[in-house]
Amino acid sequence: MVTTVTASIIINNYNYGNFLRDAIDSALGQSYPNVEVIVVDDGSADDSRDIIARYGERIIPVLKQNGGQASALNAGFARSRGEVVFFLDADDMLLSTAVESSLPLFQSPRTVKVHWPLWEIDRRGAKIGRTNPHGALSEGDLREQVIREGPASHVSPPTSGNAWARSFLERVSPIPEPEFRLCADTYLFELAPLFGEIKSIPEPQGFYRIHGQNNYASARFEAMLRGELVSYEYLLTVMSRFCNDMGLVVDLEAWKRNTWCFRLERARQEIAATIPPGHAFVLVDQEEWGMSKASRPPIPFLERDGKYWGNPPDDETAIRELERLRQNGASFIVFAWGAFWWLDYYSELHRFLRSQFRCVLETDCVIVFDLRQKPPGGRSLESAAR
């Protein structure tokens, strides 16, 4: 095994003392020997700095005032010397093979990023049984796709599922700090395809901990969305500037129409304009929108005890569960654009909705059925049953 390449693992921490030891130990426990471990504490008020001090010279501590994730990543990168850089959230962990598995894929100078899925674990570190992301990761030369469709047109894992070429980070650093106080990795995810190729490791190389204090888990929906809109507004400007410098022509307005957070804001506005206040509605989004923390939370589908229960196994279950929710007071059902495939896959559910209820809105963002109204010329549920 060639060990001349130095890898840097930069752990960013803010008040995650409960998990910090696991993260540091996973970084120190890599099978690849030439690794430096840098731990950035972003002004924690818990026992994080005591924990960091106990590791002595085994790690490089960077202790700073609170400035947010971008600030922490920038500070850690400035102290690092690795040719390949890993950013590890302090509540996550790496498998011991993460560095060793990643480095061979950087042999091509065109590679700017290597990524992999993460096992989802609970607060205690037990596997939940799924990976993040749930689907296949994007890979290859994605530049033309990004130019055509804009950011968020490719699939990337969270912070701890990525390794970065130092040469790329130097071209795009520092990460803008006010705009990316949270989710600073988004800046890197979206810029990377403009500068080179993305490579993928199919097997998980780390763990993503779900514990209720994660940024997305703890932020209310409206605040999260506002933050994303600000970040992506700035990101689109930065991306277009880099593209112009490369002689690439882009359509900013088309990018904005395709970008997840702007599209979600349009969908939210369309729902608010279509569904009267005080009416409960079912949302088919596979729990991707995060609206369970909205000021007007929808009913997930499938639903058990107010929580998302996964996709229905068949049409019969979907129709039965929808009828149960309707009888319990749901007035509308909304399909998010990411769940439009339901209407093909669950064809009997689709036929049932079209034949029994009025479709009151159909756009590229949402499809809404009024569960109180039959379609023009349609029969009532009671007459259909007879």
Using the predicted structure, report yes or no on whether residue 218 has a pLDDT greater than 60.
no
| 201 or 259, higher pLDDT | 201
Residues 6+ apart with CB under 8 A from 228: 183, 260, 261
Question: What pLDDT score was predicted for residue 215?
Answer: 54
**Cα torsion angle, 153, 296, 179, 267, sign:** positive
CA pair distance 335, 337, nearest whole angstrom: 6
Domains and CATH numbers, the chain: 7-211 (3.90.550.10), 269-385 (no CATH)
Tokens 């995810």, residue?
Answer: 189
User: Among residues of the chain, what percentage have pLDDT more than 70?
Assistant: 95
CA pair distance 246, 305, nearest whole angstrom: 52
pLDDT in tens, 255-305: 888 888 889 999 999 999 999 999 999 999 988 888 887 878 999 999 999
Mean pLDDT over residues 222-246, rounded?
88
Question: What pLDDT score was predicted for residue 1?
Answer: 55
3-state DSSP assignment of residue 113: strand
Mean pLDDT over residues 105-119, rounded?
97
CA pair distance 141, 161, nearest whole angstrom: 19
Question: What pLDDT score was predicted for residue 97?
Answer: 98
CA pair distance 21, 16, nearest whole angstrom: 9
Residue 94's pLDDT band (cuts 50, 70, 90)? very high
Question: What pLDDT score was predicted for residue 230?
Answer: 84
Least confident of 39-48, 242-251, 327-336, 360-369: 242-251
Tokens linked to 303: 């639903």
Closest to 117 in 3D by CA, of 162, 58, 75, 176: 162
Question: What pLDDT score was predicted for residue 385?
Answer: 39
Question: What pLDDT score was predicted for residue 311?
Answer: 92
CA pair distance 38, 17, nearest whole angstrom: 16
Using the predicted structure, report yes or no on whether residue 91 has a pLDDT greater than 50.
yes
